[in-house]
Structure 1
Amino acid sequence: MDGLTISWIGALAGLALAIILILRKLNPVYALFLGAIAGALLGGATLNETIQVLTSGTQSVMGTVLRVLAAGVLAGVMMESGAAETIAKAIVKKFGGGKAILALALATMIITAVGVFIPVAVLIVAPIALSVGHKMGLSKIALLLALSGGGKAGNLISPNPNTIAAANGFNLDLSQVMMAGFVPAVFGLAVTVLVASLIKRKGVLVSEAEAANQNEADESNYPPLKTAIVAPLVAVVLLMLNPVGAILGIELLESFKVDAMFILPIAGIVGMLAMGKASKILDYSASGLNKMTATVLLLLGAGGIAGLISKSDLSTQIVGIIEASGVSGTLLAPIAGILMGAATASTSTGVILATGSFGEAILDMGTAPLAAAAMVHAGATVIDALPQGNYFHVTAGSMYMTIKQRMGLVPYEVLVGGTMTVVSTVLYGFLL
């Protein structure tokens, strides 16, 4: 098995088959596994070698899977307690209608940044956006760009599966990757607000019926803001103790090395206690686990096809093309993120494939692990909102948009993700 090298043609064929099957509505997990099997066989592997390729690939993502499952506790607490909604409403209320686009983008960014999945963050803020959009005469495409762009920015600095995958793929602490995404995320937020403001009258407006159709949730059991922010605040403080200690040279803080697998559940439990929801610990953790299950299965499927690509000479071929073109080898990291994110229409799956398939080649070209993680992570946000992915359809439904209307948003999302990738590449690939 160690000497096995699968043909790059087989690897590409397997990846293409997986994408086609996903577009044909086959469950993405099965599509990825079938693509990996077909690619390995076409690339010259025997049946036994094919099983070993899949096994080694799925084993490589187990560290990420464990941390994603642990993050389910924090996610469950934020979503089920109403804490996420409390934070979102507080931000929008603070900024008022005059700065609606900034408020909506910032709200989605923060909700995503504190550990809520980006599709769920969009669903949480969408009813507020529809109501505000109708009152202010804002178009749906501008509203959804505010939500999606803000969510993309938040995703770069969140303890979500994509960030966990980027950290684990290059053997880094989660906090390091979160901090590395901060500056690109700020640029992403700024571009989101600017572009959304420019197109706020473009396209279909929110109808009165759509605005009226937003059922007001029972907020009587929602926690107040001062307790709603406890869980994410504890998570951020604990995650940042080590890197802050290293920066400031404080030995006590620098010696605090606790993995995110412990920190995220602890933050969720502390937040639960602060909100007086201790009796709900079983319900919230079960809900968080259920929400993570689909992501975990997808990560295993991605691990299978990453095993295929890593055992092929595809990365060697791509490196050869980059060297022949005279382009800096540093660009392999963002290119890998962009291609894999687009192929799977998923940031987290794209990061898994990019790190598992091209990670070694990226590091061999002289790129530092943190720079590689930051650039791959940002790259995976560029073209990840395509029809073969769940995010595309969930966000379209949240704003009552047709497929055609939703496709019209993709170029603007590419602009936001592209900005964050360019900033990340310049900052970590060339300046630092």
Structure 2
Amino acid sequence: MPDWYTLTVVGAVILAVVVVIVRFRINPVIALALGAAAIGLLTGLGPVDTVSVMTQGFGDVMMEAGLLIAWGVLIGSMLNEMGAITRLVETLLRVFGKRGVPYALGLSFATYLQTIFVDAMIVIAAPLARRIAPRLGKAGTGIMAATFAISLEVGIVMMVPGFAAVALAGLLGVPLGIMLLGGLAVVVPTVILAILVTSVLFRLGFWKPESDEQQLISDGEDAVAVGAKGGERSQAFGGDDDERAAAVATAEASTTSTERGPRDPASVPLLVLFGPMLAALALIAVQAVLTVIEIELPAMQFLGNPVIALLLAVIATGLVGRATVGTPRVERALVRGFQDGGQIFVLTGVGGALAAVIAEGDLGAILQGYFSATTVAPLLVVWVMAAVLHIAVGSVTLSAITAAGILGPVAATLGLNPLLIALAAGAGALFCIHVTSNTFWLLQSFLGQSVRGALKSVTVGVSIASVIALGMTLILSIFVS
């Protein structure tokens, strides 16, 4: 088929997917599946092959990422049940002081705490953030809100075990250990620099408390901003954010005020609570390094395999949970984890189905003709496509997966490392988080910001991180072939 026809079909279908999600509020999973089927039929794959390729693409991504996402969700749910996040934030404040706590908190949220769902993390940690904010000066609320937004969103798409990062790695065939190391190289400087830039801007007068903050109706630890427009939040994953936030808050309250485990969780050292997850990430990283330097150790190949390492972490975290909060609460946490993770599995798999249908055609060869044989142009195109998709759809994960799936074939034809495509897609998907994002409204509600304030801390803050992450990815491309 002519090049112009293939490009027109793919472009029109992706635009239609965006429209039905944003305008008609169709669940992204359904919209993506319909889009994949339409591309297959309109580009000549035929009915039978279209279904076959979609099924194969779904299965391939689930084979790579399904168990890993499941293990991460379960670990996060159990840590939540044990009150580990609240204790960690309080500890960071004591250790790093008021000036250092945004960076310590940001790096924690963006790296090893990525097993916790964003909405749960915001609800759990927001009361502590509100207590920290006054110690940071007049712009404290804005600085803490930007810290939350930047670190949580960057970690989701660029840092293992963030579920979007795991999904991107599976979609593009990037070994999870390599994704972890590459993500770490980009995420750490991105988070530090983005928090620094936004903090300086806010302290120089960009943040105006009189118009960017609003009074909170305080009800214990569950203060919510007056006038929060929760009803305008988009369904980035098809769920109702008000209900999810309320459920998280209710669950958290229940764990602190009703049941008591066999011992007080506060008496258990934080290192014991987080130790299994940190050990798993260390095993994965060590095996990734051994692979790069071409050393084969059978024991490490087994223990450092992400599926095994995270499975061991699930088991060990469960044992710690049983000893601290009791078996019933651990089992309840596991059930909640499976419920919360269900749509992430399907969204990830359907994203793989769309990518497989596109890759089956000749789009990769067509795009190759428009790029010079350098690593810069394709990465910029991936970033721009993911940014545009995110502005329209409001889902960081959906836009990153779609952009990577469309332009992933270019990586193979140009000899470009798929790790760079994954990181560039993640960076682009962070650009301009705004009123279509559930994270925007959660941060606006729980951190005492006006809508104008949230536009500064969330939209501007994370957009700065998006541009910095692109720069870090381009720098990494010099060293990664």
TM-score, scaled relative to structure 2: 0.76
| Compared CA separation, residues 8 and 360, structure 1 to 2 (3 A) | same
Contact 1:235 / 1:267 at 8 angstroms: preserved in 2?
A: yes
> Which stretch of structure 1 is more off in the superposition, 367-376 or 25-34?
367-376
Aligned equivalent of 1:214, options 221, 232, 246:
221
Q: What is the letter of the counterpart of residue 441 of structure 2?
A: H
- Aligned partner of 1:159 in structure 2 is 161
> Which stretch of structure 1 is more off in the superposition, 300-309 or 288-297?
300-309
- Aligned partner of 2:345 in structure 1 is 296
RMSD between superposed Cα atoms in Å: 3.3
| Compared CA separation, residues 375 and 240, structure 1 to 2 (3 A) | same
Q: Provide, for residues 348-386 of structure 1, a one-character-per-residue CA deviation record: whole Å limited to 9, x for no partner.
A: 334433443322321211213444444444x34432734
- Aligned partner of 2:285 in structure 1 is 240
| Compared CA separation, residues 96 and 304, structure 1 to 2 (3 A) | same
Matches within 5 A, 1:94-243: 94-110=95-111, 112-113=113-114, 115-135=115-135, 136-138=137-139, 140-155=141-156, 156-198=158-200, 199-200=202-203, 202-204=207-209, 206-207=213-214, 209=216, 214-215=221-222, 218=256, 221-222=265-266, 223-243=268-288
- Aligned partner of 1:16 in structure 2 is 15
Q: What is the letter of the counterpart of residue 209 of structure 1?
A: L
- Aligned partner of 1:340 in structure 2 is 386
Greater RCO, 1 or 2 (C-alpha within 8 Å, sep 6+):
2
- Distance in 1, Cα, partners of 2:445 & 2:430: 21
Structure 2 counterpart SS, 1:116 = coil
| Compared CA separation, residues 141 and 401, structure 1 to 2 (3 A) | same
- Distance in 2, Cα, partners of 1:396 & 1:149: 14
1:310 is displaced (CA, Å) by: 2.5
- Distance in 2, Cα, partners of 1:423 & 1:57: 30
> Which stretch of structure 1 is more off in the superposition, 187-196 or 201-210?
201-210
Matches within 5 A, 1:31-430: 31-43=31-43, 46-63=46-63, 64-110=65-111, 112-113=113-114, 115-135=115-135, 136-138=137-139, 140-155=141-156, 156-198=158-200, 199-200=202-203, 202-204=207-209, 206-207=213-214, 209=216, 214-215=221-222, 218=256, 221-222=265-266, 223-246=268-291, 251-252=296-297, 255-257=300-302, 258-275=304-321, 276-277=323-324, 279=327, 280-323=329-372, 328-333=374-379, 335-340=381-386, 342-344=388-390, 345-377=394-426, 379-383=427-431, 385-401=433-449, 403-408=451-456, 409-429=458-478
Contact 1:133 / 1:143 at 8 angstroms: preserved in 2?
A: yes
- Distance in 2, Cα, partners of 1:23 & 1:405: 24
- Distance in 2, Cα, partners of 1:338 & 1:322: 14
1:337 is displaced (CA, Å) by: 4.8
Q: Provide, for residues 289-341 of structure 1, a one-character-per-residue CA deviation record: whole Å limited to 9, x for no partner.
A: 11211211222332343244334444444333333xxx834431453255236
- Distance in 1, Cα, partners of 2:26 & 2:102: 36
> Which stretch of structure 1 is more off in the superposition, 122-131 or 39-48?
39-48
1:40 is displaced (CA, Å) by: 4.2
Q: What is the letter of the counterpart of residue 318 of structure 1?
A: L
Aligned residue pairs total 423
> Which stretch of structure 1 is more off in the superposition, 312-321 or 28-37?
312-321
Identity %: 19
TM-score, scaled relative to structure 1: 0.84
Question: Which ranges of structure 2 fall in alignment gaps of 5 or more residues?
Answer: 224-252, 258-263
Contact 1:140 / 1:203 at 8 angstroms: preserved in 2?
A: no
Contact 1:340 / 1:354 at 8 angstroms: preserved in 2?
A: yes
Contact 1:269 / 1:281 at 8 angstroms: preserved in 2?
A: no
Q: What is the letter of the counterpart of residue 208 of structure 2?
A: G
- Distance in 2, Cα, partners of 1:314 & 1:403: 41
Q: What is the letter of the counterpart of residue 283 of structure 2?
A: L
- Distance in 1, Cα, partners of 2:453 & 2:362: 40
- Distance in 1, Cα, partners of 2:435 & 2:359: 26
Contact 2:367 / 2:410 at 8 angstroms: preserved in 1?
A: no
Structure 2 counterpart SS, 1:181 = helix
